[in-house]
Structure 1
């Protein structure tokens, strides 16, 4: 006995069991439909597509929803046509969801870039502050050395430049020097 000798009812039952067990999906039924005329005739059996509708579109399988793409009520549509309509709607919803996800990801990237630019600006500002503090620290160190030289050596020996540095400094050198050292360490 060959496969072509089996009655249509038996083939229909095999297809029903395949759909019911999730071994066959809509793509499989479409492929079977083009395999032979007999399988093509059997693969459009309404019970198969009704089972696929209830399995694949569980939340949308209510017959009371109206079809926007056809003027007939959905109850009069063949389950395969109804499946095609719902599948196309599902494809559109999934494409929209992917687009939304891409837009949200792009928005997060843009926000991260803005934050990165802000942080880079802050780093540049802090770098400038550090340079200014280091330069002031260097100047104060020179003033402190000149002050020590004025106190230790005889004023006649001290050169005019050191005396001028000490006289120009209005802030107590030691306290400002310790403050700048602490600031640079932080």
Structure 2
């Protein structure tokens, strides 16, 4: 730990989380190795991406916590440990709630995927309907032009007969 500066360790953790090479278990394991990594592993920059990736519907809660200085169950705004542990404590709460089965986050993600899929299908159906409308419009236009062409041919025949 003493070989690398803290900002480099922090960046390593952020990249690991960003590439999904590190998960919450790995961060917890790193935090028990030494005091310096424990302090870095408790940082919001580490836990906020984890919270967003695992509990997608919690973005509203994240905005509430960002705007409000309170940590859940603690009203002390001046404590640095409270401020830096907001995302970690929210992750803990979400994790235990999902483990107890009170809220099924995985089904929520599945529901969001289904909604995205439905939107995708509706978009495709809409494009198909638009293309069919364009085809019908062109068929009608073609029929009108064919009718005009037949009228023109009939006129030409009449002119030939009149000569």
Q: Which has the larger radius of gyration?
A: 1
- For this structure pair, what is the TM-score category when the shorter chain's length is used for normalisation? 0.3 to 0.5
Instruction: Report the TM-score, using the length of structure 1 for normalisation.
Output: 0.42
Instruction: Report the TM-score, using the length of structure 2 for normalisation.
Output: 0.47
